[in-house]
A and B are shown apart, each in its own frame.
Chain A
Amino acid sequence: MSERKRLRIVALLCRWCSYAGADLAGVSRTKYASDVLPIKVPCSARMDPQLVIRAFSEGADGVLLAGCHPGDCHYLKGNYKALRRFMLLKKYTSQMGIEDERLRLEWISASEGARYAEVVNEMSARVAKLGPLNWRREIPIET
């Protein structure tokens, strides 16, 4: 357990759907891994790729991005923009040596509390398998 505890995964959650989905998981008392830490953002389109890179450079072992299902965006098409940026970002992170499993984009609606828990557990398990991201050790970053 102590090995697991050192892992840190950041979840950037759209406040309209995925954050509410996480709330629902709580209200339903669905238990899930504790190493995924949520941050609320107004829309998946607000997820600046720079913030993701920053998360990795600050020591995150994984980053989960979650937004509304395609077509259901509170801001009409924000999630499509997020998806496009994600594809590009993914190319960049893989070139940087960050394994595929460490960065994930998911659609989780406000009613999908169980799905939120499932995604978090999966993410936690996959990152645990990879172990800590040794990116930071190789490229020292002033904090």
Chain B
Amino acid sequence: MKIGVYICHCGTNIAGVVNVKEVTEYASSLPNVAVARDYKYMCSEPGQNLIGDDIRQYGLDGVVVAACSPTMHEPTFQTAVSRAGMNPYMFQMASIREHVSWVTVDPEEATEKAKKLVEAAAARVSLQEPLAKRRIPVRQSVLVVGGGIAGIEAALKCADAGKKVYLVEKEPSIGGHMAMFDKTFPTLDCSQCILTPKMVEVVRNENIELLDYSEVEEISGHVGDFKVSVVRKPRYVDSTKCTGCGICSTKCPGKAPDEFNMGMSKRKAIYIPFPQAVPLKALIDRDSCLYYQKGICKVCAKFCTAGAIDFDQEPDHLSLEVGAVILATGFKPFDARRAREYGYGKYPNVITSLEFERMTSSSGPTGGKLVLKDGREPESVAIIHCVGSRNVNDNLYCSKICCMQSLKHAHLLKEHIPGVTVYDFFIDLRAAGKGYEEFYRRVMGEGTIMIRGRPALITDVPSAPVEKGKLVVVAEDTILSTVQRYPVDMAILSIGLEAGEDAKELARTFTCSRTADGFFLEKHPKLAPVSTPTAGVFIAGACQGPKDIPDSVAQAAAAAAEALAMMGKGYFELEPYVARVTEELCSGCGVCLNLCAYNALEKDPQTGLTKVVEALCQGCGACVAACPSNALDLDGFKTKQVAAELEGILA
């Protein structure tokens, strides 16, 4: 066995703390090590060539690179060694950057730890065996979960490339939050006008199968071949017959708060979610329907000329087979009631930014009029940034959209009500984006009073005659260093973005991780921003973190590109980590059989011994650790290999 060990300086990232020369010297003294070198950047072209040349010159059959984390550059070096004719699985990385130089203060301790990790890797490599990746075919179809702007965009891109797309949306219409907005910043183009053509294209595109009012129940299989079961909730209206005329709604006596208008108006028990809904089909809400609650009525069925009403509709269970999954499940708006200091829910004229959006919409609850609850026009309005964001009690992160959203609202107020006084309370003004700073200046030019300070309180208790009948915003103006009281008629809380309500469930269903604040975790924040650790599952839009429309659309296109690249190639390479049975040792006790979560183990009817179904094995090693006679082992993580690493570390 001849091993080459290569220690990377990573500029000063490693060499600034770890004594690289000392580690190299130490490595060259280790058993089986034929050559040990250090180099400034191992991942660079010359660095990779250095390894290749040595493999040929010394006839190396194992290589250790001590550099960054394997997550970062393992594939780079595996490719480099295989170019030189070595099996890529005769390679091992020692992470002396992420696990040593970046986390250790004392250079001496860091050098010692680096030596140990290099020794462990060298010991392991000498027991490694050549392996080959498994190729599996990739189905030419995609599942997109979530029909907001990100999901729509991803679905359209994949469909345009000729792939079959299943778009699953849990609400009765696609469109997501974007459909609720009136104008979009900073261009002020009408949200509906730019969104609805895309929504309509979804149903027109013959490659897309829209599964509205549906949810993913379960997913099994693996990259390239996922089996998905979807439940389509009953609308109690036959979508194939419904023409979307809406006569049922006009005749229906049942009423409930309209979700699309944030409960500021009522809708009927049978309803079309909003005028531009896609699909433009009615549905019945059982909770407010007289027939379901009291057993009488059926007025809608009487008036439906298409005969579309179907009170006995049952949930429909569908099973799909797809090669890739794109999650675009969006966000949940912060519940303003949690910011108790602002009295949302207590004072009727304290509203959220989303309610304000609906109010400014001409199809909204007030027909586009900006009015107080008593119908008067407000003379003065406070806009409060960062509600539910940027504080330790709610969420530490910035919602990214609330500065621009607030500025947009300030502009809309001035446009709708000339002469209105607008106070805009901000912590920091973050107008980073194309045309955003320009928009900020425009809003300031319109006379919005910008106050740097996070209000402490909204109260209706007056302390001066001028405050009578008003809401009083108490805030410190941190530029003037004074606490002031601002009497206003209306306060708009610019609420933040939180991870979706079902994010936890979804993460479990699709086995992807979440960050501490609940959003889906990308595989790498910079180099794999729309991938997840689960191969074949991609993420797009606000489910990955707060973002505005342009960013969501860009990410959706990126996720579609990732899925398309995989499908275009036609196959996916799986890691070769598979469990193996040594028949001579297996007693056929069957302890392992029940442990496999993938049914990859079975009892051979002839021999009575355990058999591994390679295609199903995912390489977790749960069975290996349980085998009482050491008959099972895992390629790439064999007991002797891990034990060698242990011994190397403890040597």
Residues of chain A at the chain B interface (Cβ within 8 Å): 1, 5, 8, 10, 16-17, 19-20, 22-23, 25-27, 29-32, 34-35, 37-43, 45-51, 54-55, 58-60, 68, 71-78, 81, 85, 109-112, 117, 143
Contact = CB atoms under 8 A, between A and B. Distances in A.
B597 A29 contact: no
Nearest to B630: A50
B647 interface: yes
Question: 4 closest Cβ contacts across the A-B interface?
Answer: A26-B98, A46-B621, A45-B622, A75-B620
Contact of B97 (A8, A26, A39, A40): A26
A110 B513 CA distance: 7
Interface size class of B (residues with CB under 8 A): 35 or more
Nearest to A117: B103
A60 B650 contact: yes
B69 interface: yes
Contacts of A17: 513
A91 B649 CA distance: 26
A81 B621 CA distance: 11
Contact of B113 (A34, A43, A50): A34
Given A26-B69, A47-B625, 11 more contacts: A10-B646, A23-B69, A23-B95, A34-B110, A40-B70, A48-B625, A49-B625, A60-B650, A72-B507, A76-B597, A81-B626
A123 B95 CA distance: 21
B213 interface: no
B270 to A, nearest CB: 39
A71 B106 contact: no
B99 interface: yes
Contact of B533 (A26, A43, A74): A74
A16 to B, nearest CB: 6
B522 to A, nearest CB: 10
Given A8-B650, A54-B646, A29 B102 contact: yes
A41 B577 CA distance: 11
A133 B535 CA distance: 42
A51 B99 contact: no
A112 B577 CA distance: 26
B646 A55 contact: yes
B511 interface: yes
Nearest to A115: B516
Interface in B515-571: 515-516, 521, 533-534
A74 B103 contact: no
B106 A34 contact: yes
Contacts of B625: 45-49, 81, 85
Contacts of A27: 98, 102
A131 B507 CA distance: 41
Interface in B597-634: 597, 618-622, 624-626, 634
A133 to B, nearest CB: 11
A29 B98 CA distance: 8
Given A5-B109, A23-B98, A31 B508 contact: no
Contact of A46 (B103, B106, B534, B620): B620
Contact of B622 (A43, A54, A60): A43
A139 to B, nearest CB: 16
Interface stretch (B140-148, B252-260, B321-329, B635-643): B635-643
Contacts of A49: 625
A39 B645 CA distance: 7
Contacts of B577: 42
Contacts of B646: 10, 39, 51, 54-55, 58, 60
A68 B534 CA distance: 14
B643 A51 contact: yes
5 contacts: A39-B642, A42-B577, A46-B621, A81-B622, A109-B513
B618 A75 contact: yes
A43 B620 contact: yes
**Which of the listed residues A8, A23, A74 has the most CB atoms from chain B within 10 Å of its own CB?**
A23
B105 interface: yes
**Which of the listed residues B103, B636, B639 has the most CB atoms from chain A within 10 Å of its own CB?**
B103
A78 B624 contact: no
Contacts of A60: 646, 650
B15 to A, nearest CB: 16
Given A42-B634, A48-B639, A26 B521 contact: no
B121 to A, nearest CB: 10
Contact of B109 (A34, A45, A48, A68): A34
B71 interface: yes
Nearest to B511: A74
A49 B629 CA distance: 13
Contacts of B235: none
B649 A37 contact: yes
B120 interface: yes
B570 to A, nearest CB: 25
B513 A72 contact: yes
A114 B643 CA distance: 28
Nearest to A111: B515
A48 B595 contact: no
B183 interface: no
B622 A37 contact: no
Nearest to B621: A46
Given A10-B646, A48-B625, A111-B516, A26 B99 contact: yes
A78 B103 contact: no
A44 B298 CA distance: 57
A26 B103 contact: yes
B116 interface: yes
B620 A112 contact: no
B619 A31 contact: no
Contacts of A111: 513-516, 521
A87 B449 CA distance: 63
A82 to B, nearest CB: 8
A71 B69 CA distance: 26
A58 B120 CA distance: 13
A37 B643 contact: no
Contacts of B619: 42
A132 B209 CA distance: 64
A8 B513 CA distance: 31
B634 A20 contact: no
A39 B649 contact: yes
B508 A41 contact: no
Contacts of B490: none
Nearest to A58: B650
Contact of A58 (B112, B507, B534, B647): B647
**Which of the listed residues B97, B100, B639, B646 has the most CB atoms from chain A within 10 Å of its own CB?**
B646
Contacts of B104: 31-32, 34
B117 interface: yes
A12 B515 CA distance: 22
Contacts of A74: 511, 533-534, 620
